[in-house]
Chain A
Amino acid sequence: MLELRDVNASIGIIPILRNLDFFIGAGETVALIGRNGAGKTTLLRTIMGFTKITGEIRFDGRPIGAMPPPARPGLGIGYAPEDRRLFSAFTVEENILLPAQAARLSAEETKRRLDRAYRILPELREMAGRPAGNVSGGQGKMVALARALMLGTKLVMLDEPFQGLAPALAQRYAEALRALRDADRSVTLIITESNPALLRGFADRTLVIERGEVAEGALEPETTPA
């Protein structure tokens, strides 16, 4: 479903990611583990089209490396960025609806997807009318997830979703991700994390990213004995 072949990515003139070469299959849940500054965010932004690349990125077999960023979500990609990035001018529900409106989905299809998002994150219904600038950090993460689900019918990418969540909320968030898994086995999930313990037992597969290079890995503890 997602294939990177020999990809190098740079921001401006600074090369950040090197020799990326991997394939992620439909329905896989992938943990992308790396320390601070390893390149997790840059990798997700690369898939969204925000970096300059060489090499090839394929989505469902189709090369998307040259596709402008706003065209990519329409392929079925939902992306919840690291710092939530909600639009504070709008309410929670307006934020969730925006991707569907940008993609000009029909009213019925929009409603169907909104219902799906609310089924996975029912607590958002109660705060639907609240200004997005007024929700707590953890709630904001839920809203960002719901927003990503609107177009993320094939691939959902979450950048450090557990970062800064209180334990109870983190629990809730993980439950929501399980509900998403159970609702649709064909959705591919890429979740980045610096602490592998948080995704233990949840991901089918782990990719480790270190200094801009990605390797197949196991969920090793962060510190290794000297």
Chain B
Amino acid sequence: MNLTIFLLALFDGIAYAALVFIVALGLTLIFGVMRILNVAHGSLYAIGAYATVALTGFFLSLGLAPALSFPLMLVAAILVGILLGGPIEWLLLRRIYDKPEVLQLLVTFAVFMILEDVQRLVWGTQPYFEARALQALGNVTVFGVTYTVYQLILLPAVALVLLLGLRFFLRRTILGKLITATTEDREAAQSIGIDADKVFLLTFIVGAALGGLGGALASPTTSILPGMGADMIVLSFAVVATAGLGQIEGAALTALMIGLGRSFAVYVWPEVAVLVPYLIMVLVLLVRPEGLFGSPAARKI
């Protein structure tokens, strides 16, 4: 393997890991706080991507600058959080927190199926491409390897800001502290006046918006087509499970590990590249069922 290929694999891995991490962050936040594994998170990712393409297509056709794509991604993510995340928690999940986990899984899976059909209904089955945000930032050359600034710098930077921002939010802001307290002990939190219902709603909206943001950020780098949500939920679940459910920093490291493992496999052993994330997950979980960073009993966020 020469330097060029090594760097390409490295950059592919980092860019990919950044995207997967952003999606996994939403998934693990929701699980950490609410103990719900939200299968519909994959649809939120896909809808974030579709919504970004629709919004960008509309506004740029009015002659606005491509740089407008970036705030539109944020808008798409927030819309996903509020318009989809809000009602899902409020109308469905709220009723099943004290029900068996299998039922919770089935309900979020049903939401996933419904949202998959909604996507086909609204956007059809034709793939969409919308790479103007990617082109707007141009390229950078590192040791002779040319890569997009969007993937090599913007995506990892966003991932890092989200990681540090979420940690700061949960530990240092009042609202974040109320969320963290509810995560640790719901009844004790309610006993000191924390409205756990509101905390859950807010957490789900933020988590859903992170899924949507992952899709929004992925949209310029990939073709947007039915099924992308299913791929992403499986992958981000692999990251979250390998790290340990609810582990935020762990998810970042695991995403990097899985992203790099996959991208190097593409060059070294392409036949198994798509399997690598799951091989890593299975290996880790065989040795440590609670995940790399999880502890068997404690519930951490």
Enumerate chain A interface residues (CB-CB to B < 8 A): 48, 50, 68-74, 79, 81, 85, 87-90, 94, 98-99, 101-103, 147, 150-151
Residues in B174-224 with C-beta less than 8 Å from chain A: 174, 177-178, 180-181, 184-185, 187-197
Closest residue of chain B to A96 (Cβ to Cβ) is: B192
Q: A160 to B119, alpha carbons, bound, how many Å?
A: 56
Q: Which of chain B's residues have a CB closer than 8 A to the CB of A102?
A: 178, 192-195
A-B pairs, 3 with minimum CB distance: A73-B193, A85-B188, A99-B192
B198 to chain A, nearest CB (A): 9
- Knowing A102-B194, A103-B193, say if A85 contacts B185 (CB, 8 Å): yes
Instruction: From the candidates A69, A73, A87, name the one contacting B180 in the complex (CB within 8 A).
Output: A87
Q: Which residues of B contact A85 (CB under 8 A)?
A: 185, 187-188, 191
- Complex CA gap A79/B193 in Å reads 10
Q: Is the interface of B mostly helix, strand, loop or mixed?
A: helix
Taking a contact as CB atoms under 8 Å apart, the answer to whether A70 and B196 are in contact is yes
The count of chain B contact residues (Cβ–Cβ below 8 Å) is 19
B171 within 8 A of A: yes
Could you write out 13 A-B pairs with CB less than 8 Å apart?
A: A70-B190, A70-B196, A71-B193, A71-B195, A81-B191, A87-B181, A87-B188, A88-B184, A89-B180, A89-B181, A89-B184, A98-B194, A150-B192
How many inter-chain contacts with C-beta < 8 Å in the A-B complex?
67
Contacts of B195 on A, CB cut-off 8 Å? 68, 70-71, 102
B interface residues (Cβ-Cβ under 8 A, vs A): 171, 174, 177-178, 180-181, 184-185, 187-197
Beyond A89-B171, A90-B177, whether A98 also contacts B192 by CB under 8 A is yes
In the complex, how many angstroms separate the beta carbon of A187 from the nearest chain B beta carbon? 17
Q: How far is the CA of A68 from the CA of B178 in the complex (A)?
A: 17
Residue picked from A48, A70, A79, most chain B C-beta under 10 Å:
A70
Partner of A48, one of B177, B191, B194, B196: B191
Instruction: List, in ascending order, chain A residues with CB within 8 A of B171's CB.
Output: 89
In the complex, residue of chain B having the shortest beta-carbon distance to the beta carbon of A147? B192
Q: Measured between alpha carbons, how far is A150 from B185 in the docked complex, in Å?
A: 19
Q: Is the CB of B187 within 8 A of A50?
A: yes
Q: What's the least CB distance linking A117 to chain B, in Å?
A: 13
**Most chain-A CB neighbours within 10 Å: which of B178, B187, B193?**
B193
Complex Cα gap A87–B195 (Å): 16
Contacts of B178 in A (CB 8 A): 98, 101-102
Q: How far is the CA of A71 from the CA of B192 in the complex (A)?
A: 9
Query: Which chain A residue lies CB-closest to B181?
Result: A87
CB-defined contacts of A101 to chain B, threshold 8 Å: 174, 177-178
Which residues of chain A come closer than 8 Å to B181, judged between CB atoms?
87, 89-90, 98
List, in ascending order, chain A residues with CB within 8 A of B180's CB: 87, 89-90
Q: Is the CB of A79 within 8 A of B184?
A: no
A45 nearest CB across to chain B (Å):
8
Complex contacts, B177 vs chain A, CB 8 Å: 90, 94, 98, 101
**A177-B187 Cα distance, complex, nearest whole Å:** 25
Interface centre among A72, A89, A150, A151 (most CB of B within 10 A): A89
User: In the complex, how many angstroms separate the beta carbon of A223 from the nearest chain B beta carbon?
Assistant: 34
Output the least CB separation between A23 and chain B (Å). 23
In the complex, which of the residues A70, A81, A88 contacts B193, with contact meaning CB atoms closer than 8 Å? A70
Report yes or no: B184 in contact with A87, Cβ–Cβ below 8 A. Answer: yes
Closest CB-CB distance, A32 to chain B, in whole Å?
17
A71 to B181, CA, bound (A): 16
A103, closest chain B residue (CB): B193
A73 near B187 with CB under 8 A, answer: no
Q: Contacts of B190 on A, CB cut-off 8 Å? A: 48, 50, 69-70
Closest partner residue, chain A, to B183 (CB atom): A89
Given contacts A94-B177, A102-B178, contact A73 B191 (CB under 8 A): yes
**How far does the alpha carbon of A28 sit from the alpha carbon of B194 in the complex, in Å?**
27
- Assess the B184–A151 pair: CB atoms within 8 A: no
Cβ contacts under 8 Å, B189 to chain A: 70, 87
Closest to A12 in B: B98
Output the nearest chain B residue to A144 by Cβ-Cβ distance.
Answer: B188
- Tell me, rounded to whole Å, the shortest Cβ–Cβ distance linking B301 to chain A: 8
- Report how far A102 CA is from B195 CA in the complex, Å: 8
